[in-house]
Structure 1
């Protein structure tokens, strides 16, 4: 069956088979196909946003200025692409403040004229394209790109674009405004179909292979069967695209609410291994009887579980919902925040398993050291995606430590010392790791398993401790290195660091509350190291 065939067929069986999938696991190729296709098409709605709506929205500030300039320009001036599509979509509330214009003539001269009228800043974006950044009367920042017409006519230009839903144009200065739609893009908009404009589409710009899935993720559309087939055949072309462009499109796909569905389609089309080199080693890997899912399906289920968990956090930790929200929105670099990067780590947290898998004489499958192997490999992937040092270090820390919260949650007691050491090592990343642990455990045992219920209590207790105890201690240590130098005549060095760490651990366990108590602990420890206490009595063994 073709990719789209699986893709559509599974829509009907999604809700009927979801429970069975969760309890019995995806141990066959049919389950993989099911996952790849479980994208629910939004119900088609009548197109109730026509050209008048487009005019109404733009008329207030931008269109009058465009018309003024167009009146003195010797060539037609066309609004094209996404801005036309956005305003034609039924029920669309646009947040996209990008406007694209095409025309003929000297583009630089036109760009400067428009910048003057819009009160914006103008600069060349690349050869043949200029960008104007300005603020409209809604005080929001807009950007307007002006490009030279490709070909001899607007129809030729539109035929060279990526998808029919973007091959739409509107002549700004025409007396009788009308949508130019040579490829029947409005019909595809109504049917919510993504269709490439021509067989040359992906050859002209292979990044469109990812862009098609990004539009699917953002708009809730379906990719046409012929376009899916073309994408599968052209997948190797993506290797020739700059890694920065690939990274940006990929993270826009991850930003979708249910990105796990689109990740599976990337895999089905042979695109994911072009984006994430080495991920193909995870496909089809059996993990043994202790795991309900093969490795790839487990990884995808971890992303799904994470995406289901994040909106529920305010219910799980009502006193700290604000912290959770701000933490997940914290930027790592560019447009990538913790929430986005956490999805990448959830997908790849077990990347080390294919390279550490062993089977003993009894048939038991083991993955000793897979977390450290995974740490090294996630670092390589971050470099491949041209991610910065901060993101790479954070991802390496989470993958290298991803077993830690699940193992700690299984302990009979969660001591203050164990909690302290967890957050001492991880700081704010401890919260991220606790989320990853929850999603990983749910993907392993299922939603109804008692282990998951216990982990929920563990998660809540850990966050309470971190926010109400650990962070308070971090802001105000009982003693500092200078205190020990003055009090005991110590020299700066490793010994002071060890002593301060012992004070912090005792404080975390609730055994110290004052500076005097902290100094007493240091005095006792120094006595143990010297072999006698202050009264000359032999000290006991250090605990």
Structure 2
């Protein structure tokens, strides 16, 4: 690609005032602050750019002061970079877009027309490289994350042309207080429209396919038909994207309270199967659920149901909703909370069914699909870039999602059964309960949900009011060494079995102190229950 150093300078113009009934008040205020001046002889510039890039910019520049729209801390950060970068520093990307929309953002994107190290090394703050070949560096400044990048080309308009969407392809000169908008980003902001800058935008970076669906949801923008078609054609190339980048993008998607809409949109465009072929295997598999959807529809429905349930935790679990929320926001590994992994589990919980499906007469059975699914999601998690902890939690949730359903079929759920549930799952037991509720809602509607809810409440109450309070429900009153001494055992699996039996006796109230624990062990020996 040729640089455009030989092209005439871009003529400055200020976009005329534009407004439509759909324009947000924030965006309209920005537009109304512009005044029109004439465009001076653009033909030579357009001709040169057309020859060298094949694409003509909109040639728009607005004189506008955006500093007053920034939070005080963000303005302080930007001014610090301005004092060192001068006329070569620009505000770009998502932060500029959100600033124009009146949205709060703590991710500041800066473009420096030179080597970013020239200013970063003079900032008296630590920074680290994100992509050295591309000249991208990151600095943390309080709650703000500041990314400073070198240009992809020596000409600013060409650099903006290499970006993904027109609403992200604007630049604001901090020194000149001018908004450069060569590709019609302001017009698309006003129309709440998502449009690729160029026809080759997705091919240059296939991750933009995911980003298109995510940004559309976050901003409530409508992608143009051309943009959707371009994204769909390039979707198979997602398999070539580094899994670390896929992981980060899905983290942003799952952070949205209605993330299921991204999954649904990808399913409609045929993109879902590229990343989740296991889910596509469920198309056409009817499970006899009350709601009558195929397996893929059920998986999408379970994620949808989970996101319906989450805002009402206080109504469903009034005594423990705060504790449950605290548990869900805990970080499992970088960028992934327990809630994000739970959402993935809701979407993937039944992917073990296709490989375990057996037809018995007129019915289909899926025995062992929970365990099979647990194994499959562990591999899938690694493919998505998840680390050991997140993949492990995903496998735990999926492989145990049937446990609450099975308990619900019993006439009585004893303290022993409840204790076994939480000793096995620990802090993840609450997430499994929420997954089971979402599964019931997606399978059988509100009837199934409210049939399972009393047991879910009972289990949550047991965990927070008894299990966490009473040490006897969690750990044996005697140590392994004490068991070996009392029963004259050698180290081995038998010691673990005895300790397990002791904890269950404690949870049932049959053992309440050390003396009763010793008597319980001796009783096992007398009855011969230690021999296996």
Q: Which residue of structure 2 lines up, in the alignment, with residue 230 of structure 1?
A: 230
2:97 pairs with 1:85: yes
1:318 and 2:318 are equivalent in the alignment: yes
Q: 1:49 to 1:274 in 2, by over 3 A?
A: farther
CA distance in 2, matches of 1:521, 1:337: 41
Q: Which of 123, 129, 135 in structure 2 is aligned with 1:129?
A: 135
Q: Which runs of 4+ in 1 moved over 6 A?
A: none
Q: Which residue of 1 aligns with 2:17?
A: none
The structure showing larger relative contact order (alpha-carbon pairs under 8 Å, at least 6 residues apart) is: 1
**1:405 alignment partner in structure 2:** 404
Unaligned runs of 5+ in 1: 1-41, 532-541
Q: State the partner residue of 1:500.
A: 499
- Matched-pair contact (CA < 8 Å) for 1:299–1:350: yes
Match of 2:379 in 1: 380
TM-score, length basis structure 1:
0.81
| Alpha-carbon contact 1:49-1:88 (below 8 Å) kept | no
**In structure 1, C-alpha distance between the alignment counterparts of 2:423 and 2:183, rounded to whole Å:** 60
Counterparts in 2 of 1:126-525, with a 5 A limit? 126-135=132-141, 139-148=142-151, 150-174=152-176, 177-288=177-288, 292-361=292-361, 363-447=362-446, 449=447, 451-471=448-468, 472=470, 473-474=472-473, 477-525=476-524
Question: How big is the shift at 1:289?
Answer: 6.2
CA RMSD of aligned residues (A): 2.5
CA distance 1:283–1:100, change in 2 (3 Å): farther
SS at match of 1:144: strand
Q: Distance in 1 between matches of 2:328 and 2:313?
A: 11
| Match in the other structure for 1:37 | none
Instruction: Output the CA distance in 2 between the equivalents of 1:289 and 1:329.
Output: 32
- Mapped contact 1:441–1:452 kept (Cα < 8 A): yes
Distance in 1 between residues matched to 2:323 and 2:24, nearest whole Å: 38
User: What is the CA distance between 1:298 and its match in structure 2?
Assistant: 0.9
SS at match of 2:70: helix
Deviation at 1:333, TM superposition (A): 1.2
Is 2:149 the partner of 1:111? no
CA 228–469 in structure 1, closer or farther in 2 if over 3 Å, else same: same
Supply the distance in 2 between the matched residues of 1:318 and 1:102 (Cα, whole angstroms). 52
Deviation readout 1:383-409 (Å, 9 max, x if unpaired): 211222222222222222221111211
How many angstroms apart in 1 are the aligned matches of 2:529 and 2:301?
55
Distance 1:358 1:512, change over 3 A: same
**Residues matched between the structures, number:** 473
CA separation of 1:58 and 1:169: change in aligned 2, threshold 3 A: farther
Secondary structure of 2:512's counterpart equals: coil
Output aligned runs, 1:36-47, within 5 Å: 44-46=23-25, 47=27
- TM-score, normalised to structure 2, is 0.83
Task: Note the C-alpha offset of 1:268.
Answer: 2.0
